[in-house]
Structure formats: C-alpha cells, structure tokens
Structure 1
Amino acid sequence: MSTKKVIAITGASSGMGKAAVQLFAHRGWIVYGGARRVENISTGTNIHAVKLDVTDSASNHNFINLITTEQQRIDVLINNAGYGEGGPVEDIPLANVRKQFETNFFGAVELTKLTLPTMRAQKAGRIVNISSIGGDLYMPLNAYYHASKAALQQWSDALDLEVQRFGIRSVIVQPGGTQSAWGDIAVQNMRKNLQPNSAYLPLVDVLGNVLSSANNRISATSADLAHVFYAAATDPKPKQRYFNSFGDRLVVHVVRAHPKAFRAATGALLHHLERRARN
C-alpha cells in the first residue's frame, strides 16, 4: 500500500475537474479521476482514469470500491461533476429536472455516503463539494441549477457539523465564471428545453445573448480553480467556503446581506435588456 495521499475527483474529463486531476497528480497524490467520457481524462503517473456516471448507483459503488480495494484509503473526495439544465421553469421537462439534481446533488450525496465509512476508520478525510456563486445568487432560466447548488451547500454545511467529530471536514468551493464549455452548454439547454411556441422565447433570446457575450470576457481559468480545489483539500484549518477571487466572494456577500437590493437590481437589468431587445 502506498503512503501517498489518495484523492477521488468526479467530472474529471474536462474543465476544472481535468485541471485538478493534473495538479494533484503533479504534486504526488494518487488520483482517481471519474467521468462518463473516460477517454478524455488525463493520463500519466499517479492517475487512474475510471468510467463513472454519478447518476448511476452501480457506477458510484464501483468507483469507490475500486479505490478502497486498491489503496485501502481515501483522503479526499472532490464532488465536481455538474452541469446547468437551463430553461424556463414552466418548460423544462421534469425528467430533465430530475437529471439536474441527480448529477449536481444526489451523485455527490451517494459518493459521500460510500466514502465516509473509510474516512471514519482513518479518523481523517476531506469532502470538497464544488458548488457555484450561483448557489447564493440567481438569474432567470437557471432555477433548477441554482436550486441544486443551494441544496448542495446546505447539505454540505449540515454534514460538516456531523462529521467533524471523526476528523472529517466537508467544505464548499464556489467558482464564479470560468473559461469552459459550461456557459455554451447552458445556453444550448435553454433553447433545447423550450416548448413549441413558448411564451419565454424572447427571454431566452435576451439572456442567451448576454451569457454568450459574457463567456468571452471571463478571465478565470480551470487551472486557477484547480489551485482553489487544492487549498480546499489541504488547508490544515479548512474554511467553510472557498472562492477564486475577491469579486466572487463580494457578490455572494452582497446577495446574502442585501437580498432585496439584489433582486431589485436583477429585475431592473432584465427589464432594461428586454426593452433594448425590442427597440
């Protein structure tokens, strides 16, 4: 059995998850990266690429069982798998809503439940749950994404209080905008989920254009977030929340401290964008 630290990372085939696999492996950890597109997971020394679908219970069991069988320990679990099921609340099929929560919330729940017995036996461990600043703020056409991330945060906080006595911590990382395909996929889903002759088509057109434009101005990279993941996984005295930038931290603070002002400002901005689109 190796004396190296062992980490499991979901959503490891792209973006932040892929960058985290590379960073932890480079720093000498034994890394098990799980994703549906296993062929896209990085390869190299210390990296084990494993096919994983977090919405499938058998796949989750196989992932954790493989790690504990081969390494007899798991020091850190990073629940990173997630996506945005964009679209109007009224239009999105319930099957897609359930898929959103199965991926962003229930997958993390099951993997954590499977990991905790090993961490309790070790008397140490870290659960790092990748949420979003969207777990606190919100915008139209992403209601189910925001709800899934808010659920993940409340669950993680409650879990942390339960497992600290065993030397385990559960913490949250809240990325803001990051250079990735996430925004493009969210916009695609907004249009895919529209019902025929939807009353929300003008709103989708307006916000879709805003998101597509905003994606081109994002400076944070997946590599930047991988370093935040590393801090969340290794800080001797972990924080409850981790952010990549002061701006991300500030916007969450403003939303929490001034919810009415945030809602009013968001509504005014939306009204302005809709008027401009009509003119």
Structure 2
Amino acid sequence: MSELTDTITPTLDCSRLAAEAAQLGASEPLLADMIARLFVAQTTPATLLATLISERISHRSVAADALFSAALNCFEQPQASAAAAADLEAIYQRDSACQSRLQALLFSKGFLALQGYRVAHTLWRDGQRNAALLLQHTISCQLAVDIHPAAEIGSGVMFDHATGVVIGETARVSDNVSIMQGVTLGGTGKESGDRHPKVGRGVLLGPGAKILGNIEIGCGAMVAAAAVVLKPVAANSVVAGVPAQAVGRTDGDNPAELMDHYFHCAEQKNLERQR
C-alpha cells in the first residue's frame, strides 16, 4: 500500500485564477458578485479556499465567519494547500467536461466537498471532534457527499460528479485516485476498529462501486461500475461484478488519470485473438 504523500509541491496560482475570473465576471454578469467575493486584493491560496468553503458550505448551524476561520487554519498549512492544488489539477486534467481550472474551482461539487473534508479532518486531528462531525454532517446534507473526518485522503484526488460518495472512518485513499459518483468505501456489519478499505495510488473506482471491509485495493487497479468488492484486489487488476472478480489487467499504473472505464475480460481477449 502506498503511503500518503508527506511532501507535495503544487500551489494554486491565485494571480492567474483572479485574472481569468475578472474576465469571466465582465463577460457573464450573473457571476460577477460571486467572483468579487472570492477574489479580493492580495488573495492567497488559503484565503481563496477559505472564502469558497465559507460561502458555499456555511449554514445556520455553521456560521460563515467561524467556518472561514477553521478553513483558513487548515489551508495555511502548506500540505493542505498543496493537496487542494493537486486536487484542482486532477479535475482539470481528467474531467473532459472541465474547460479550465477556474471552472473546477467555481463549479465542481467534488472539489468543494473534498476541501470541506480537509477542513473537517484538520478539526478532527486537532481534537475538535464534535466540530468536525458537525461539518461532516453539513457537507453531507448540502452536497450529498459523506466523508468521515477521521478518514485519510491523499492529494491529486478527483471526485467526479461526487453525488452519493461515502467514505468511512478508517478508510485510506492514496494519491492520484479517481472516484466516481455513488462509490462507497464502507465497513461490514457492526464490526469496530479498523474496518474500511485502503485504496492504493492511481486507482479508478467506477460509478456505484461498493468496497466493503478492511481490504486493500492495490495500486493501479480499476473497480468497474456497480461492482461489489468484498476481497482484496491485486495491483493493476480490473475487477467487476457482484461479488467482484478479476476480469483483466489495467493498461498502465494509473487508470485514475486515463479515466477509461471500458475493459475487456480475459475471455473476450482470447476470442478476439482467435478471430
């Protein structure tokens, strides 16, 4: 299992994002007010992310100013800010519907939910566990993405569409993973302790995939749409079905970047060779 990255280098290019946002606000007045609130003088990555989260996730149960402060504390930490930048780049590079990094920042629910989780995770790690759970609850209610704040998620992670994603308390997601809508990283029954999946680098989890229990999904593997995975998955394997079984191998070490959900099972490949 790959370790989560300790040193990450990407940064959000606030100057470039602000310039693109100014052009967008001028050409599409409906967005002008939102852009003016997000991009203020001397915007930093931390203030930009904190403003985005407090604007979009705040609720009468979670005051915007308190959420801004919590988010600012999170993203002033270099690793969290760099992880957010890598997440944004992942969306831009992998989502064919995304035309710019600014679009990903402004309109990707998956990006917003993941950065909200990062704030909740920081609160959890700092001992503010009830505040972390309140933020988890708010994100779940508003965005339909439910990530326990104790879960560990690396950088360069993309939630595509994001609706219905559930990630349990002891789950671990490594760097450069793509997770489609409706994916569950869950436990089994009432088992306590370490009970959730561990997902390796470069993994692609297809729409509606359910991965249950303290099992490892090896680096570079792909879980097909609607698969129910109950046993460990070897690195670079493709699994599909209910319950999931190995049906082939991935073409490279990073299916998360390729975002190719089509696969040939071994039997199909043999038939094609015989034709």
The answer to whether the superposition gives a TM-score over 0.5 is no
Highest RCO, 1 vs 2 (Cα 8 Å, sep ≥ 6): 1
Output the TM-score relative to the length of structure 1. 0.24
Give the alignment's TM-score, normalised by structure 2.
0.24
